[in-house]
Amino acid sequence: MPTATQKSAERVLIVEDEILVAIDIESVLGEMGLAPVGIAADKTSALRLAERADVALVDINLRDGPTGPQIGRDLAARGITVLFMTANPEQLGNGVPGTLGVLTKPVADAELRQAIRFAVSRREKERHAPPRSLQLFDSAA
């Protein structure tokens, strides 16, 4: 349960179809004191859970195909801070407008934590440094 001193950007949606990867991310979020709102393996599930999220970690290739970029666009349009995590960053080209950037999988837990802190800090108008492994999109500058 959040305390009065905690900021609002602590609800994180995991959009990932590999359950072991999703559970590992969920564990990292819990260790950081953030609240995972759920795991979505496809576009329909992601959009259903979106109303409960502040930040989303989004894979590109999901159960329903390469729907990650469209999910990212839709979530960003709803005011959700979107960070992509994928083994195929080239599929994003120069990025997806309104989203932060992309981490190339596999991602070390320390890099994941730093990227999540960066994404949350963007919502809180603070400036945490992104991890070196995070490729920022032009729209995130």
What residue ranges do the domains of the chain occupy? 11-140
Sheet containing 101-104: give its strands across: 35-40, 11-15, 55-58, 81-86, 101-104, 134-136
Superfamily for domain range 11-140: Response regulator (3.40.50.2300)
140 or 132, higher pLDDT: 132
pLDDT tens digits, one per residue of 34-82:
999 999 999 999 999 999 999 999 999 999 999 999 999 999 999 999 9
Longest pairwise C-alpha distance within the chain: 41
pLDDT at 6 over 60: no
Band (138; pLDDT cuts 50, 70, 90): confident
- Answer for the pair 51, 4: CB distance below 8 angstroms, yes or no: no
Average pLDDT over residues 112-133: 86
Question: Is the whole model's pTM more than 0.75, yes or no?
Answer: yes
Average pLDDT over residues 8-26: 91
What was the pLDDT predicted at 132? 85
pLDDT at 98 over 70: yes
